[in-house]
Amino acid sequence: MHILVTNDDGVMAPGLLALAKTMREIGEVSIVAPEINWSASGHVKTMHRPLRVREVILQDGTKALSSDGAPSDCVALALLGLLPKPIDLVVSGINPNANIGHDVTYSGTVTAAMEAMITGSLPAIAVSVDGPDNHGAPLDFSAAALVAKQVVKLVLAKGMPKGVFLNVNVPYLPFEQIKGFRVTRQGLRVYRDSLDKRIDPRGRPYYWIGGESPTAIPEEGTDYGAISHGYVSITPLQLDLTAWSAIGDLEQWEWS
């Protein structure tokens, strides 16, 4: 079992270290991750410049590869031949913030898992923990790492459904306090973005998309509903974004 571990927070992020550590209890681990933070970078394919890869040593003394590409580029690199041995499964994370609702289209953590499906048709799992905002101390990723191990073991035992990858969100709780697992659908994020216009030292305007952190609606059956009640949320996702419910209606329009 050869597991590729990646993330969107950068190769030196503590969440990646915690994830790689528990994945080593399941199989051989290779790490290919971006050298900088690509959070909220979405699904990227770098086509108009070369990609560089270098070897780095992580905090625990293990080796990893980093690239100047996006998380999805890292997965593509790994699966298209950067690594000599074929990959069996891809795990991305552990992201320090939940990826729920529409976050999945912004998330580098989730889009890395998407890339594993597109490039390699491999089972892929994105793991995020609902870490508190403005947390003074370093986050504790140990519970989410144990959850990731359980999820990967179950996926390996059962087999991932065809065309599906998993978006896993873990409440920020000690492992013993997590109430269990819920299979969920995407919930609704409430974004509170606002545009900040400022003037640079040369007198020209610049813009910053800022505002307060997003909230979410803790509806029953959803990703946020689960984590807000202390459960791990397992959302099966697919790449087919077709709005099937609209096809019949649109077919009735006078197109010609």
Q: Is 39 in the site for Mn ion (CB under 5 A)?
A: yes
- The nearest distance, CB 9 to Mn ion, in angstroms, is 4
- The nearest distance, CB 156 to Mn ion, in angstroms, is 25
Between 8 and 35, name the residue whose CB sits nearer to Mn ion.
8
Single out the residue of 132, 139, 36, 135 nearest to residue 94, CA to CA: 139
Q: Is 95 in the site for Mn ion (CB under 5 A)?
A: yes
Of all residues in the shown chain, the one whose CB is closest to Mn ion is 39
Q: Which stretch binds Mn ion (CB under 5 A): 15-23, 31-39, 77-85, 245-253?
A: 31-39
Q: Which stretch binds Mn ion (CB under 5 A): 9-17, 178-186, 198-206, 242-250?
A: 9-17
Q: Find the helix packing angle between 14-23 and 142-158, rounded to 10°.
A: 40
Q: Is 8 in the site for Mn ion (CB under 5 A)?
A: yes
- The nearest distance, CB 163 to Mn ion, in angstroms, is 25
Angle at 159 between CA 118 and CA 29, to 5 degrees: 70
Between 93 and 171, name the residue whose CB sits nearer to Mn ion.
93
Contacts of 134 (CB under 8 A, 6+ apart): none
**CA separation for the pair 96, 120 (Å, rounded):** 26
Q: Is 9 in the site for Mn ion (CB under 5 A)?
A: yes
- Measured CA distances, 224 to 221, 227, 249 (Å): 9, 5, 31
- Measured CA distances, 110 to 54, 126, 245, 248 (Å): 23, 5, 25, 31
Between 8 and 231, name the residue whose CB sits nearer to Mn ion.
8
Q: Which stretch binds Mn ion (CB under 5 A): 25-33, 39-47, 65-73, 179-187?
A: 39-47
Between 8 and 115, name the residue whose CB sits nearer to Mn ion.
8
* Contact indicator for 4, 90 with CB cutoff of 8 Å: yes
Q: Which stretch binds Mn ion (CB under 5 A): 36-44, 77-85, 173-181, 190-198?
A: 36-44
How many residues form the binding site for Mn ion (CB under 5 A)?
A: 4
Between 135 and 220, name the residue whose CB sits nearer to Mn ion.
135
Contacting positions for Mn ion (CB under 5 A): 8-9, 39, 95
